[in-house]
Amino acid sequence: MRVEEQNKSTKKTHPVKYKDNDLQQTVIVKDDEKYEKLDLVLDEYEDVEGSLVTVLHQAQKIFGHLSRDVQIYVAERLGVPFAEVYGVVSFYSLFTVQPRGEYTIEVCMGTACYVKGSGKILEKLKSQLGIEPGETTEDGKYTLETTRCLGACSLAPIIKIGDDVHGNITAEQISEILTKY
């Protein structure tokens, strides 16, 4: 990768333009504060063997998802083929290539939660947010997901919003819960 330098310092500047050998195309990375944060992560891990998953996890934290451009950038910086990066991103369910909302709402559909009403909770969320599971609201605030089990069956039914777990809830409580976010 050809990287311009400012005042012969080691700080990378953007835009960065490089040739991706796997795709046989030139990629231009925009001047962006997020890429500067990613550069710090890559500087720390680029010589660490087996660091791809860690780097991708940090990149997703920074960008909210792993776009094709981010994947190509990571591949180039780590010196691995784009196909390897894409293979990891597409294999692990924790990675997403679609933009996600500021808050991810996970509705537990495990047996205990389903029997106690998580289906009604999901329907209320779909109606109130105007999206289906796997989608993100137009304002980018919420992404709705279903999950098989969140491991808190004694609190059934439960939803998880970000890192917050809401248990023993009803569909009627959804509006009030969402006002906290």
> Residue 9's pLDDT is what?
39
Same domain, 127 and 76: no
Does residue 93 carry a pLDDT above 70? yes
Residue 71 falls inside a structural domain: yes
> Residue 68's pLDDT is what?
96
Residue 97 falls inside a structural domain: no
Higher pLDDT pick, 3 / 25: 25
> Residue 3's pLDDT is what?
40
pLDDT tens-digit readout, 104-122: 999 999 999 999 999 999 9
Mean pLDDT value across residues 149-166: 95
> Residue 21's pLDDT is what?
54
Residue 35 falls inside a structural domain: yes
Same domain, 111 and 143: yes
Domain containing residue 142: CATH number:
3.40.30.10
Same domain, 87 and 111: no
Of 18-22, 97-101, 123-127, give the lowest mean pLDDT range: 18-22
Same domain, 127 and 66: no
pLDDT tens-digit readout, 45-65: 989 999 999 999 999 999 989
Does residue 27 carry a pLDDT above 60? no
C-beta of residue 38 within 8 angstroms of C-beta of residue 69: no
Residue 6 falls inside a structural domain: no
Same domain, 27 and 66: yes
The CB-side HSE value for 40 (13 A sphere, CA atoms) comes to 6
Does residue 70 carry a pLDDT above 80? yes
Residue 23 falls inside a structural domain: yes
Residues of the domain holding 125: 103-178
Write down which residue in 91, 113, 146 finishes a domain. 91
Residue 2 falls inside a structural domain: no
Alpha helices in 92-163 (DSSP H): 111-115, 118-129
Residue 7 falls inside a structural domain: no
User: Max Cα separation, the chain?
Assistant: 65
Write down which residue in 91, 113, 134 finishes a domain. 91
pLDDT averaged over every residue in the chain: 87
Separation between Cα atoms, residue 11 and residue 43, nearest integer Å? 10
Give the DSSP H or E segment for 45. Answer: helix 33-45
Same domain, 107 and 79: no
Does residue 178 carry a pLDDT above 50? yes
Domain containing residue 34: CATH number:
1.10.10
Is residue 38 very low, low, confident or very high in pLDDT (cuts 50, 70, 90)?
Answer: very high
Based on the structure, what is the number of domains in the chain?
A: 2
Does residue 28 carry a pLDDT above 60? no
Mean pLDDT value across residues 91-116: 93
> Residue 176's pLDDT is what?
97
Residue 148 falls inside a structural domain: yes
Write down which residue in 51, 67, 91 finishes a domain. 91
**Cα distances (Å, whole numbers) of residue 21 to 39, 75, 98, 142:** 20, 10, 24, 37
Same domain, 58 and 84: yes
